[in-house]
């Protein structure tokens, strides 16, 4: 089992993909909108991915709600962006937390039904005025304490539904001055500002089983390298100051914030301290080059992987019809839910 996650090109595996996955044996797979048809089609694809590697490999997706939702209408409902939960029931923080849990539990139900058991969420980034809007309403709130509270509720909702949460983007993307899909963000905040603001939700959720790095340069931490490929940021800040010991994925290697070839990016991320390199675009040539360059999980990554996967369990009892009605009522009229 190699230390990367791969995507695929469409809604069905090609023979070339099957052959590559069988030989490369990636840790897991990730799906995007290009891979999503009707529910039965998604289930066939997740079954085929696991069959290609001959084991119950983890299958990831980004299903945050709002702008970042890979499974959507007509087969799945639209879920609110994170900021909707942050703005809901403003005078009742317990109700706001309950709504966030409910939305996450419903997403987990949807994902498990089609064979997906890892969700790259919650977003723990804390936005600041003037930052690039790549995070924007994906963030729960501008108050780090509220982000921490709602992020934990969401993570617990996923876990209750048998889905592993991946907190992102360590150590914080909320100040980014660019979209890291397109360019390299540089954050010039002081260490004191980062510790008092950006790091707060990640410290509060440092016990989470999995996380994802940020392709962001923090000049107060490492003036030249983005966090994903910086031993200083991963070792000193993510593992050290924040205290996160969960399984650490790189953000997508094919994003333009990173320099070098795909194999070079993977090697740099793994050498810096990421446990697993994430490659999402499904490009066969890139995946083949990556498979030739990356080996198995390091011993610490093996330990973290086992600990994370042990958190995936059978979903707790749940009535999705009743829960969806409660979520819709609560978002539209929080008082009605509070009095029910």
Q: Which of 62, 110, 251, 252 is catalytic?
A: 251
The predicted-structure confidence for 246-293, as pLDDT tens digits, reads as follows 999 999 999 999 999 999 999 999 999 999 999 999 999 999 999 999
Say how far apart CA 93 and CA 149 lie, in whole Å. Answer: 9
The predicted-structure confidence for 63-122, as pLDDT tens digits, reads as follows 999 999 999 999 999 999 999 999 997 778 999 999 999 999 999 999 999 999 999 999
Which residue, 116, 92, 174, is CA-closest to 140?
174
Q: Is the pLDDT reported for residue 336 higher than 70?
A: no
Say how far apart CA 233 and CA 192 lie, in whole Å. Answer: 15
Q: Is the dihedral of CA 168, 169, 170, 172 positive or negative?
A: negative
Alpha helices (runs of H) in the chain, residue ranges in sequence order: 15-24, 39-53, 82-87, 93-113, 144-160, 191-193, 200-204, 231, 262-272, 284-293, 299-309, 320-332, 334-338
Say how far apart CA 194 and CA 316 lie, in whole Å. Answer: 37
Does the annotation count 181 as an active-site position? yes
In order, the DSSP letters of 222-276 are: -SSS-GGG-HIIIIIIIIIIS---SEEEEEETTSTTS-S-HHHHHHHHHHHT-SE
Q: Which of 47, 133, 181, 207 is catalytic?
A: 181
Half-sphere exposure of 222 (CA within 13 A, CB side): 21
The helix/strand/coil state of 148 is helix
Q: Is the dihedral of CA 104, 107, 112, 118 positive or negative?
A: negative
Identify the residue with better confidence: 172 or 332.
Answer: 172
Looking at residue 90, its pLDDT comes to 75
Q: How far is CA 161 from the centre of its chain?
A: 16
Looking at residue 335, its pLDDT comes to 62
Does the annotation count 251 as an active-site position? yes
């Amino acid at each position: 089992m190699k230390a990367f996650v791969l995507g695929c090109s469409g809604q069905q595996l090609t023979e070339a993909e099957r052959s590559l996955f069988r030989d490369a044996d990636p840790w897991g797979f990730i799906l995007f909108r290009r891979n999503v048809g009707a529910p039965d089609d998604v289930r066939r694809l997740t079954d085929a991915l696991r069959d290609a590697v001959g084991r119950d490999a983890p299958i990831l997706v980004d299903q945050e709600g709002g702008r970042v939702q890979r499974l959507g209408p007509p087969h799945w409902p639209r879920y609110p962006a994170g900021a909707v939960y942050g703005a809901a029931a403003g005078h009742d923080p317990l109700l706001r937390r309950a709504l966030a849990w409910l939305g996450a539990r419903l997403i987990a139900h949807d994902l498990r039904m089609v064979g997906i058991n890892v969700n790259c969420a919650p977003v723990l980034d804390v936005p600041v005025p003037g930052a690039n809007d790549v995070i924007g309403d994906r963030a729960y709130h501008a108050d780090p304490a509220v982000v921490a509270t709602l992020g934990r509720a969401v993570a617990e909702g996923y876990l209750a539904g048998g889905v592993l949460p991946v907190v992102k983007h360590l150590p914080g993307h909320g100040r980014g001055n660019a979209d890291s899909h397109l360019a390299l963000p540089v954050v010039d905040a002081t260490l004191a500002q980062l510790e008092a603001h950006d790091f707060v939700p990640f410290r509060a959720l440092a016990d989470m089983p999995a996380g994802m790095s940020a392709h962001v340069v923090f000049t107060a931490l490492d003036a030249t390298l983005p966090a994903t490929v910086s031993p200083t940021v991963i070792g000193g800040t993510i593992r050290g100051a924040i205290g996160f010991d969960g399984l650490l994925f790189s953000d997508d290697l094919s994003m333009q914030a990173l320099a070098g070839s795909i194999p070079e990016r993977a090697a740099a991320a793994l050498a810096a301290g990421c446990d697993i390199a994430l490659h999402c675009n499904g490009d066969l040539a890139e995946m083949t080059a990556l498979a030739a360059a990356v080996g198995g999980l390091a011993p610490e990554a093996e330990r973290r992987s086992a600990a994370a996967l042990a958190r995936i369990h059978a979903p707790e009892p749940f009535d999705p019809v009743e829960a969806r009605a409660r979520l819709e009522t609560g978002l539209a009229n929080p008082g009605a839910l509070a009095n029910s």
